[in-house]
Amino acid sequence: MRWNFDETARREGTDCIKYDLREETFGRKDVIPMWVADMDFKTPGFVVDKLRKRVDHELYGYSYRPSGYFSSIVKWLAVRHKWQVDKEWICFCPGVVPALNLCTLAFTRPGDSVIVQPPVYTPFFSAVENHGRNIVYNQLSEKDGRWTMDFESLKKSVSDNTKMIIISNPHNPVGRAWTPEELQTLAGICQENKILILSDEIHCDLLLPGFTHTPVAGISEEISDITVTCIAPSKTFNLAGLSTSSVIISNPILRKYFNKRIDSLHVGNGNIFGNIASMAAYAEGQEWVDELMEYLNGNVGYVQKYCHDHIPEIVPVKPEATYMIWLDCRKLGMTGKELQDFFVQKAGVGLNEGSAFGPGGEGFMRMNLGTTRATVMKALEQMDNAVTQIIKK
């Protein structure tokens, strides 16, 4: 490999949420942190070099996004995902989570209903509920370790008051890369009922071998017209701290409403370093992402084999995308709180407890594999020892 993903980077003492808030989050600071979704790999050198060059200029006044910012995104989406996007469609937002909230404010009114598909990324819930909208659950179905959308339930969930659905594509935490057929069926229901699709595609570049990403808005012009897509380089290149994302809206009326919200709150300027990092990542990052996914796939395979051979009580759901893996821990017979306490106090590993992701998440744990193989091995050994101890009892 051209890049060394086995290199250990010390993150303690950098105001890092994942490491420096362990004691506050888990009650002890020595847990192996495999929770919050950022990676332990250094941001690639071709991004860092561009940032250093800009830092050396020593003037950081007001700035704008140059044409290269937009063209790098357009080219990346065309090459990586076969999605043809006009640069005029690209709107700025300081993060995908802020975008979810701004879209809720821009496209719905208090009292409107918004559908989400749990178990799902927890900020989906607050993006709806914090603004006086009604949340409606279209829970995913699970059979033999495979998760799918429940379209019959979705149809029954729709009312005259339903204005929007928020989807995770690829899905966090279950790791599905939704197929074109699944997304087409979803979009058909939304078209029939005049429902806007808000698609969080922040994990779209993190595809494991054998799988591809389908942008919802890339299926057809008609579907693009009712779709708002959120992307960012943050998960792919470990740039979350630079608060830079894009909201892609082909429909000019929807785009006008979104930009009006951004302008009213004066959060559209972004920052110099986010602009530069985004351009560098999208312009030069193709090979780096390919090697990253090869390494992450190795982590996934290691977890699957280790659990199969040593901890059959924990069944990993094989992800198709993202660097998270969804662990089925129902054979341990514990409640969500008991699982969290078990992994923290007995195994010394900090994971995300499944019920936090909403209905359907009970009995599961989310594990972040965006770290070195050595860290994954150590965590699994500690989990193995902890499970062995309770079995002996």
Q: How many domains does the chain have?
A: 2
Task: Please give the pLDDT value at position 92.
Answer: 98
**DSSP alpha helix (H) spans, the chain:** 17-20, 22-26, 45-55, 67-81, 96-107, 123-129, 151-157, 180-193, 221-224, 234-237, 252-265, 272-284, 286-310, 336-341, 373-392
For residues 232 and 367, state if they share a domain.
no
Q: Has residue 3 been placed in a domain? A: no
In terms of Cα–Cα distance, which of 341, 342, 340 is closest to 356? 340
Contact between 91 and 258 (Cβ < 8 Å): yes
Task: Please give the pLDDT value at position 391.
Answer: 82
For residues 202 and 337, state if they share a domain.
no
In terms of Cα–Cα distance, which of 391, 343, 386, 345 is closest to 367? 343
Give the residue numbers spanning the domain of 259. Answer: 48-284
Q: Which amino acid is at 311?
A: I
Number of neighbours of residue 341 by Cβ within 10 angstroms:
15
CB neighbour list of residue 152: distance below 8 Å, 6 or more residues apart = none
* Residue at which a domain ends, from 221, 250, 284: 284
In terms of Cα–Cα distance, which of 316, 325, 311, 327 is closest to 390? 311
Q: How many residues does the chain have?
A: 393
List of the chain residues with pLDDT < 50: none
Q: For 7-48, give the DSSP string.
A: -----TTS--HHHHTHHHHHS-TTSEE--SS--SSPPPHHHH
For residues 250 and 301, state if they share a domain.
no
Write out pLDDT tens, residues 315-331. 999 999 999 999 999 99
Q: Has residue 215 been placed in a domain? A: yes
Contact between 277 and 47 (Cβ < 8 Å): yes
For residues 300 and 275, state if they share a domain.
no
Cα radius of gyration rounded to whole Å, the chain: 21
Domain of 155, CATH number, reads: 3.40.640.10
Task: Please give the pLDDT value at position 1.
Answer: 72
CB neighbour list of residue 220: distance below 8 Å, 6 or more residues apart = none
For residues 226 and 91, state if they share a domain.
yes
* Residue at which a domain ends, from 269, 284, 299: 284
Contact between 359 and 119 (Cβ < 8 Å): yes
For residues 40 and 126, state if they share a domain.
no
Q: Has residue 5 been placed in a domain? A: no
CB neighbour list of residue 382: distance below 8 Å, 6 or more residues apart = 32, 347, 348, 349
For residues 276 and 298, state if they share a domain.
no
For residues 261 and 297, state if they share a domain.
no
Task: Please give the pLDDT value at position 393.
Answer: 59
